[in-house]
Homo-oligomer: A and B are copies of this chain.
Amino acid sequence: MPRLSNRATHMPASPIRKLVPFAEGAKARGIHVYHLNIGQPDIPTPKEMMDAYRNTTLTVLPYSHSAGSWEYREHLAQYYRSHGIEVDKEHVLVTTGGSEAIIFTFMTIMDPGDEVIIPEPFYTNYNGFAVEAGVKVVPVTCNRADGFKLPPDAEIEARITERTKAILICNPNNPTGYVYTKEELERLQRLAEKHDLFLLADEVYREFVYDGAQHHSILSLPGIGERAVVMDSISKRFSACGARIGCVVTRNPAILEAALKFGQARLSPPTLDMIAADAALVNTPPKYLQEVVNEYRARRDVVFEALEKIPGVEGLKPRGAFYTIVKLPVDDAEKFATWLLSDFDYNGETVMLAPANGFYATPGKGVDEVRIAFVLNLESMKRAMEILRVALEKYPGRK
């Protein structure tokens, strides 16, 4: 039998999803699993969005435009302008989830062997998309001790090579919850201009900021022009992960033209989901997101109230998104996360965590860390933290 590709071999299994078989095993044994491993919120999708599916009058479910419908793109442009991001509908290309926005951007601006600098820990699937595109992720480490803020310019510049094509941030950050300051974005702009790089930002958590933090888009930076590309998604904003609707936003016509060719090859984003996303964007009352953001803040507070009482746990309350990277007093967080599913329960319940090593590109980093997602209701989050506390007491590999 012929062997598979090197990239198939190098492709990482998702640290968010690779323990799923163990979770299925636990469930098969009748154990309830609290899923804190994945950014799958329990927040209701706006009724306005679900009604778009329920009220569809389509009799033929056709392809949509490869770049998305002009109507949705216009509404997206209006949405961005309402957030201080001056773009037109021509600057928006609708994708099949934020995932595709990332892969299209990588494919469009980088060839195999090219490099992208990403502050770590970072959203683990950037690694997967990099393998698909043959691109090298060059990490620059952010530390909890520094609040996960952007490292000094010198540390970033030390990683720039002949092959560096871009700097990518996730803002607000998944998995640290860090919200980049305007000054940090301006520093990145200067670095990108100085070294002629693209500046990329995954801004899917734009609205999810707390305690007075303010989100700034790279597309709002004066003079950034055609150098900036934003990757976005409605998955979190409207708790509609299953719709698979995202977009690429840039003022760079060459990138849009090239990305459209990748878009044409895969024909179109899912049609009815795009119609529903449009309905969500246009019809959802503003209080929906306000309430959702309040709910996430309350969950975060509950989680940190509990974490502070668990000996040996080190965390940092984030001001954005709905994740946190937590250091645990264990030998190996992946072993611990597996043990939670395969060998532990507390009154018939356990928790699923995402081992954090997959969120780093530097070998050895994150070995004793996990990512926790605040995606369950307050009672469930409280209960899950209690289970975590008990589990850490019982875990044989406790340090």
Contact = CB atoms under 8 A, between A and B. Distances in A.
Given A165-B2, A244-B270, A261-B13, A63 B50 contact: no
A220 interface: no
Interface stretch (A73-81, A103-111, A146-154, A299-307): A103-111
Contact of A61 (B14, B16, B132, B241): B241
Contacts of A264: 13-14, 16-18, 125, 128
A255 B4 contact: yes
A56 interface: yes
A227 B5 contact: no
Interface in A32-46: 38, 40-45
A9 B61 CA distance: 32
A40 B63 contact: yes
A114 interface: yes
Contact of A2 (B109, B242, B243): B109
| Interface residue range, chain A | 35 or more
A272 interface: yes
A96 interface: yes
Contacts of A158: none
A342 interface: no
Contact of A112 (B42, B44, B112, B197): B112
A254 interface: yes
Interface string A248-271: 000010110010111011111111
Given A5-B114, A18-B264, A125-B265, 9 more contacts: A2-B109, A2-B197, A7-B107, A11-B261, A45-B59, A53-B54, A53-B272, A128-B261, A242-B272
